[in-house]
Amino acid sequence: MHRETFETVAFRAGYLLLLAFMLFPLFVIVATSFSASGQIAFPPKGLSLTWYTEFLDSTRWLRAFTNSIVIGVGTAILATGLGVAGAFGQEIDDGSLGSLVTPLVLVPLLIPPVILGITLLMYFNEVGLRGSYLSIILAHTLWAMPLVYFVMRSVFSRFDWQQLDAAHDLGAGPLQSFRHVVLPNVRHGIFVGTLLAFIISLQEFVMAMFLSTPATETIPVLAWTEIRQALDPLVSVVSTFLILFSLGALALAVLATNLEWVSKQLS
């Protein structure tokens, strides 16, 4: 075996082992969700759908599941709008104002989530929004919007801006030129950014813990509350649904574009 071939095989084997090591906890979570006993144990002692039935019969878990979806959709819409607008403005404005966009976008990512949660709790309590869907959506947007912004910066960097100049020369207004010239060329990037924002919101825990109430608590918050009392397979069931939603969002991104395009846009 040639040295190059051996190195290639060794690299791929190491990569697969590392990938398996990282994915194994997910396999454990899914497997324990089918446990027939009342405790989390791997391998499970018998298989059963009892905990899935209990989840579907639980009003509190279903409400938390619905809350997570509503907040995730709201976050995805708001973060996408702000992220696309910020990236687009950065590309068309070379002045000092445009240069401030990126540092401002980075600020929420540099602040510990506990500090953000406490600060937002005090602020939203003062303005009467504490415990509302809007407060959690705004908090999640602080983390989701920067990801959308940087994805769109990468997408816009590959866009031929001469097309936009040509549209303006032909008399198209700003909104018309963006809708008919820019949007068709970057819609795949917008779609990927939207899904990323949704996934970020779906799994965010710290800020939601500070801002939510029993009526608006999300799945991660409720899961944390239940884990503190008892560790049963119901938590694994909920985690399995979150995993499936994340994989479903990834599958949608792949179907809407393709793996090669996604890798190019995020590279």
Summarised one tens digit per residue, pLDDT across range 62-114 is: 888 889 989 999 999 999 989 888 888 777 766 556 567 777 888 888 888 88
Residue 2, phi-psi category: left (phi > 0), alpha (psi -120 to 50), beta (remainder): beta
Residue 264 has pLDDT above 60, yes or no: no
The mean predicted confidence, pLDDT, of the chain is 78
Q: What pLDDT shows up at residue 8?
A: 74
Report yes or no: 198 and 76 within 8 Å, Cβ to Cβ: yes
Mean predicted confidence (pLDDT) in 232-247: 78
Question: Each residue of 152-178: pLDDT tens digit?
Answer: 888 877 776 667 667 666 666 667 677
pLDDT, mean of residues 30-45: 72
246-252 contacts, C-beta under 8 A, 24 or more apart: 246/199, 246/202, 246/203, 249/195, 249/198, 249/199, 250/195, 252/191, 252/195
Segment 14-41 shows an average pLDDT of 76
**What is the predicted pLDDT for the residue at 58?**
80
Question: Would you state the pLDDT for residue 173?
Answer: 64
Percent of the chain with pLDDT over 70: 79
Could you tell me the two tokens for 95?
A: 């002045």
pLDDT in tens, 172-205: 666 767 776 777 777 778 888 888 898 888 888 8
Alpha-carbon gap, residue 52 to 206, rounded angstroms:
26
> What domains does the chain contain, in order, with CATH numbers?
58-266 (1.10.3720.10)
What's the pLDDT at 75? 93
Report the range of poorest mean pLDDT among 46-50, 73-77, 132-136. Answer: 46-50
DSSP per-residue letters across 35-98: BSSSS--SS-SSB-SHHHHHHHH-HHHHHHHHHHHHHHHHHHHHHHHHHHHHHHHHHH--SHHH
pTM for this model (two decimals):
0.77
Mean pLDDT, rounded, for 202-227: 85
Q: Which two tokens stand for residue 221?
A: 């918050």
Residue 97: the pLDDT is 62
Cβ atoms of residues 156 and 84 within 8 Å: no
The pLDDT of residue 137 is 92
pLDDT for 171: 67
Which residue, 244, 241, 238, 240, is CA-closest to 224?
238
